Amino acid sequence: MGNPFGFMEYARQEAPADSVQERIKHYNEFHTPLTEREQKRQGERCMNCGVPFCQSGLPINGMISGCPLNNLIPEWNSLVSLGAWKPAYQRLKLTNPFPEFTSRVCPALCEKACTCGANGEAVTVRANEYSVIENAYRTGLAKPDPPKVRTGKKIAVIGSGPAGLAAADLLNRRGHSVTVYERSDRAGGLLMYGIPNMKLEKQIVERKLNIMSEEGVIFVTNTDVGKDISKEELLTQFDSIILACGASHPRDIKADGRDAKGIYFAVDFLKSTTKSLLDNGLQDGTYLSAKDKDVIVIGGGDTGNDCVGTCVRHGAKSVLQLEMMPKLPDHRTDDNPWPEWPRICKTDYGQEEAAAVYGADPRVYQTTVKEFLKDENGDLRGAVLVRLERGRDGRMISVEGSETEVAAQLVLIAAGFLGSESYVTEAFGVDTDARSNVAAQGHRTSAEKVYTAGDMHIGQSLVVRAIREGIDCAREVDEDLMGYSNL
């Protein structure tokens, strides 16, 4: 460790964010990185624990504690504190193929398990990771490194989200020839179209995709495998197939008036904004706009927050975010001790922005939509909301007589996802479980030579867990093809 007293000498310092008034004028990332000197100090705050929970990635009380990638966090924190950027990058890349993504969008499970955070402020692990990878790009360390030898084996990866990209990256580095299929017009999956530009600018995704292309990975876009190409066609060209299509079947809301015009799934709303932003800077008018509308966002998770932040930037008249469950406590309770994931209420960027623009936190807890109201043309004009309470069986039930009517011309459903899309699983003849995720032994599906990884396998989860899924799947594919694996 660079300074054994750093955690006592220096306070946690995060990258400052632009003011709400400034950042809602654009769709770019809005944090200013710390200076190199200050980032070194933040690295010095790492205690080099004897038992570093930050890198454990173990389930504790049903929740993951620490990094699922088992990043060597104390090691590269120490190297950051010394300004040893090259070895820090080398240690980081041993476990994480995409630190340029995780340092921006990961909720930092590592920091929630940091020993410093048990009685104070956690180490800025994610910001340190950001500094390491961005320094590597600036200095030319993060350059293409194609494999020296090819094995002659060919692999098709279906889906270019974090799981598919991770599997493709590792298998390509092993020397196999990898082709990644993506049904959208741009590769990247949810990294490209599911996460707003404010959290992950798309040139960052394209930067990495270009490096992977130079290293030999082939990307085929605008191709919906299962419709445009069959499993049989792929098996004539490839030795193995990896299904990494995500949990892209959105959960719907069942309420009277659901057929009203003006109700959309969050993923379609976010994609329309990002695509238009990339195509022509939102000048074509083809995206789903919230401008001058009363908006209801159904869902209190990260996707719901992203919808709120996007609506604020569109110029919505008002934004209401509904959460079925009660508000979480502001601080850890006795039954949620460190190093468990903290079950506490957090205010994210979108909610912060909505509060500043509209004068109040947009979230309303223990509330859902009972009915959508339409005008004579079938357009959405409002919604009837109802309060919820926990019943004797633990489920949330409606409170009789608590109905209220609110205006709404746009509703965005961000209620999560139910699993993989049936047309893909049927096309490949793979078994699914009760939640419509692809069933597998490890990552091997019921169909010969077909594997699965990511949300399609484990259900809706985090980018960092999807990356781990891709890594583990790649190892199994490699073992089956070569008889052993050095991945």
165-203: string of b/e by CB count within 10 Å (b at 16+)?
A: bbbbbbbbbbbbbbbbbbbbebbbbbbbbbbbbbbbebe
> Is residue 257 included in any domain, yes or no?
no
Which of 214-218, 283-287, 371-375, 465-469 is least confident? 283-287
Do 50 and 174 share a structural domain?
Answer: no
Same domain, 269 and 406: yes
Query: Domain holding 191: CATH number?
Result: 3.50.50.60
Do residue 306 and residue 394 come from a single domain?
yes
Count of CB atoms situated within 10 Å of the CB of 386: 20
Contact 451, 231 (CB under 8 A): no
Question: Taking Cα atoms as reference points, which of 174, 180, 177 lies closest to residue 157?
Answer: 180
CA distance 394 to 396: 7
Q: Tell me the pLDDT tens digit for each residue of 50-85.
A: 899 999 999 999 899 999 999 999 999 999 999 999
Residue 278 within any structural domain of the chain: yes
Report in angstroms the alpha-carbon separations of 163 from 39, 120, 323, 467: 30, 34, 29, 5
Number of domains in the chain: 3
Task: Quote the pLDDT of residue 406.
Answer: 98
Q: Within 13 Å, how many C-alpha atoms sit on residue 322's CB side?
A: 24
On the CB side of 30, how many CA atoms lie within 13 Å of its CA?
20
Task: Assess whether pLDDT exceeds 80 at residue 407.
Answer: yes
Question: Which residues make Cβ contacts (< 8 Å) with residue 8, sequence separation at least 6?
Answer: none
CATH label of the domain that carries residue 48: 1.10.1060.10
CA–CA dist 166, 470 (Å, integer):
5
Reported as type and span, the H/E element at residue 466 is: helix 463-482
* Same-domain status, 162 and 237: yes
Rounded to an integer, the average pLDDT of 421-440 is 94
Residue 285 clears pLDDT 90, i.e. is over it: no
Count of C-beta atoms within a 10 Å radius of residue 265: 18
**Of 379, 413, 447, which residue constitutes the final position of a domain?**
413
In a domain, 133, yes or no: yes
The residue-averaged pLDDT of 274-292 equals 95
Cα(263)–Cα(269) distance, integer angstroms: 10
Q: Whole-angstrom Cα distance, residue 201 to residue 278?
A: 10
Are residues 184 and 51 part of one domain? no
- pLDDT, tens only, 161-215: 999 999 999 999 999 999 999 999 999 999 999 999 999 999 999 999 999 999 9
400 and 384, same structural domain?
yes
pLDDT value, residue 1 = 66
Whether 237 has a pLDDT exceeding 70, the answer reads yes
Give the C-alpha separation, 334 to 336, whole Å: 5
Whether residues 37 and 69 share a domain: the answer is yes
**Which domain covers residue 231, as residue numbers?**
154-248+418-482
254 within some domain: no
Q: Mean pLDDT throughout 93-104?
A: 98
Q: Is residue 43 part of a domain?
A: yes
Question: 196 and 311 share a domain?
Answer: no
H helices of 215-348, where? 231-237, 266-280, 302-314
Mean pLDDT of all residues in 247-252: 90
* Domain co-membership, 270 together with 370: yes
- Select from 250, 389, 238 the least CA-distant residue to 325: 389
Give the model's pLDDT for residue 52.
94
| Mean confidence (pLDDT) of the chain | 96
Residue after which a domain boundary falls, among 413, 430, 459: 413
Alpha-carbon distance of 295 to 321, in angstroms, equals: 8
Where do runs of H (alpha helix) occur along 286-373? 302-314, 349-358
Co-location of 164 and 269 in the same domain: no
Give the DSSP H or E segment for 58: strand 58-60
Task: Check: CB of residue 387 under 8 Å from CB of residue 215.
Answer: no
Cβ–Cβ < 8 Å for 191, 152: no
Contacts of residue 119, Cβ cutoff 8 Å, sequence gap at least 6: none
pLDDT per residue as tens digits for the range 442-460: 999 999 999 999 999 999 9
Q: Model confidence at 223, in pLDDT bands (50, 70, 90)?
A: very high
Whether 20 maps to a domain, the answer reads yes
Domain boundary residue, one of 111, 138, 165: 138
According to DSSP, the residues that pair with 410 across neighbouring strands are: 295
Six token digits for residue 194: 């599911």
Contact 70, 166 (CB under 8 A): no
Residue 386 lies in a domain: yes
Q: Judge if 39 and 133 occupy the same domain.
A: yes
> Nearest to residue 161, comparing CAs of 402, 464, 386, 371?
464
Residue 321 included in any domain? yes
Q: What is the dihedral of CA 346, 348, 354, 357, to 10 degrees?
A: 110
Give the pLDDT of residue 226. 93
Pair 268, 406 in one domain:
yes
17 pLDDT band (50/70/90 cuts)?
Answer: very high
Strand partners, 158: 181, 243
